[in-house]
Amino acid sequence: MTNARTPLIAGNWKMNGSAAAATELARGVAAGAGDVSAELLVCPPAVLIPTVAAVLGAGVALGGQDCHAAESGAHTGDVSAEMLADAGCAYVIVGHSERRTDHGETSELVCAKAEAAHRAGLRAVICIGETDAERDSGKTLDVISSQLAGSTPAASDAANTVIAYEPVWAIGTGRTPTNDEVQEVHAHIRAVIKSSHGDAVAAGVRLLYGGSMKPENATGLLALGDVDGGLIGGASLQAADFLAIAASCP
Ligand code: 13P
């Protein structure tokens, strides 16, 4: 990275853990947080957020994995952005490809969720990414442009929004794009944001890469000019691996 954007290393724990396991993992991350200069964020399953909040300390931010667009009401099984904020969260992931696929979430809905995050004072981590079929047919940049335009609120800025590029085919597969391919997409994302939100937002917004990021490949990915951190799934479930990725930030 050749800029003033503080790297963000975010752990998406997905649907993993128990109160005991989450406590141990959160303690491990918190214990190492002082040794890395990157900002750290962990996103536990909703039911474990209070457990993690109780042991995390101030050096690691807490986030949700999803939120409803509404503030409250008759939405069985959902959690609002306000509830996440009340539970100690500073961030929420919206539009993860597993939500888009498992729950049919459209970019329009993702945008409404990001607006809800902003309403509640949370930073939205908006996820976008192409499938392998889309990449194979040369549509990656078109898909990215359209997901970005549809999912990013007009009021997004560098403080309230983070964009995570997660190629669907790289998630949990051990496969990643080449570093050049990642940089190409990230530079494209920044250019699209520049035309939609202006120079200052484009220059300041953090763009995370996600998809099979591990200690072994993190150094190369995090050194790319338009990569400002990572959104990590599997490797965020081991404190040592998560911290090793964070320590790889330039
Ligand atoms: P993996 O790191 O397990 O590939 O998951 C990436 C991801 O989906 C993070 O949101």
Residue ID of nearest Cα to ligand 1 atom 2: 233
Query: Which pLDDT band, with edges at 50, 70 and 90, does 202 fall under?
Result: very high
The stretch 38-47 carries a mean pLDDT of: 98
Span from the CA of 16 to the centroid of ligand 1 (angstroms): 13
The answer to whether 129 and 173 have CB atoms below 8 angstroms apart is no
Structure tokens at 14: 């997905």
Span from the CA of 74 to the centroid of ligand 1 (angstroms): 31
pLDDT tens for residues 93-134? 999 999 999 999 999 999 999 999 999 999 999 999 999 999
Span from the CA of 176 to the centroid of ligand 1 (angstroms): 11
Is 71 among the catalytic positions?
A: no
pLDDT of 6 over the 80 cut: yes
pLDDT tens for residues 215-248? 999 999 999 999 999 999 999 999 999 999 999 9
Residue ID of nearest Cα to ligand 1 atom 9: 233
- What pLDDT does 132 receive? 96
* pTM score of the predicted model: 0.98
Give the position of tokens 């975010």. Answer: 10
| Secondary structure letter of residue 95 according to DSSP | -
Atom of ligand 1 nearest to the CA of 214: 2
- What pLDDT does 131 receive? 97
Query: Which pLDDT band, with edges at 50, 70 and 90, does 2 fall under?
Result: very low
Atom of ligand 1 nearest to the CA of 173: 4
Alpha-carbon distance of 133 to 74, in angstroms, equals 38
pLDDT of 71 over the 60 cut: yes
pLDDT of 27 over the 90 cut: yes
Span from the CA of 228 to the centroid of ligand 1 (angstroms): 16
Atom of ligand 1 nearest to the CA of 172: 4
Span from the CA of 172 to the centroid of ligand 1 (angstroms): 6
First-residue to last-residue Cα distance in the chain: 7
pLDDT of 1 over the 60 cut: no
- What pLDDT does 166 receive? 98
Q: Choose which residue among 8, 9, 12 to substitute to test ligand 1 binding: the one with the highest number of ligand atoms within 8 A of its C-beta.
A: 12
Query: Which pLDDT band, with edges at 50, 70 and 90, does 3 fall under?
Result: low
Which of 168-185 are b and which e, b meaning 16 or more Cβ less than 10 Å from the residue's Cβ? bbbbeeeebbeeeebbbb
Just give the CATH number of 15-49+60-71+80-247. 3.20.20.70
Query: Which pLDDT band, with edges at 50, 70 and 90, does 4 fall under?
Result: confident
pLDDT tens for residues 136-166? 999 999 999 999 999 999 999 999 999 999 9
Ligand 1 contacts (CB < 6 A) are 12, 96, 166, 171-172, 210-213, 231-235
Annotated catalytic residue, options 68, 96, 186, 197: 96
Is 96 among the catalytic positions?
A: yes
| Mean pLDDT of all residues belonging to the chain | 97
Residue ID of nearest Cα to ligand 1 atom 7: 233
